[in-house]
């Protein structure tokens, strides 16, 4: 014998308030853990050995152009000519920058070619 009639089943509404709270907590977390200051030079190698102060010539800067060539000391070099020119000058370490319109493929190809030929490369981030 049933004293109370069962309630008809109806869908429960989804409460949005807890979802919004979670989204705001995630937003605050990612804002607090993100890096706020720009980095001019990112060292691609993870070499943590202690290094003393060095004196000598500054590290040359190579700039990847929009056409995929590389500008160095007012010279425009192709990818193939670049390594030979750097070896002839006795350069083993460079800073690599890009023009605003340079493609990622050109940057990656230049970085791979330099790294593959034993030239230490630092990426210069432009603002």
pLDDT tens per residue across span 34-81: 766 555 655 555 555 555 555 667 888 888 888 888 988 888 888 888
Q: Kindly tell me if the per-residue pLDDT of 23 is higher than 90.
A: yes
Structural domains in the chain, CATH included, are: 59-124 (3.30.420)
- The pLDDT assigned to 16 comes to 85
Give the pLDDT of residue 27.
93
> String of b and e for 64-92 (b: at least 16 CB within 10 Å)?
bbeeebbebeeeebebeebbeebeeeebe
pLDDT in tens, 82-95: 888 888 888 888 88
Is 37 or 12 the better-scoring residue by pLDDT?
12
């Amino acid at each position: 014998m049933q004293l109370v009639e069962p309630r008809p089943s109806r869908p429960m509404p989804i409460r949005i308030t807890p979802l919004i709270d979670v989204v705001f907590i995630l937003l605050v977390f990612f804002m607090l853990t993100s890096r706020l200051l720009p980095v001019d030079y990112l060292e691609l190698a993870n070499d943590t050995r202690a290094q003393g102060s060095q004196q000598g010539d500054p590290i040359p800067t190579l700039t990847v152009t929009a056409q995929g060539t590389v500008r160095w000391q007012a010279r425009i070099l192709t990818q193939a000519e670049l390594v030979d020119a750097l070896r002839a000058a006795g350069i083993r370490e460079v800073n690599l920058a890009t023009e605003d319109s340079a493609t990622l493929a050109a940057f990656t190809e230049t970085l791979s070619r330099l790294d593959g030929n034993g030239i230490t490369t630092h990426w210069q981030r432009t603002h």
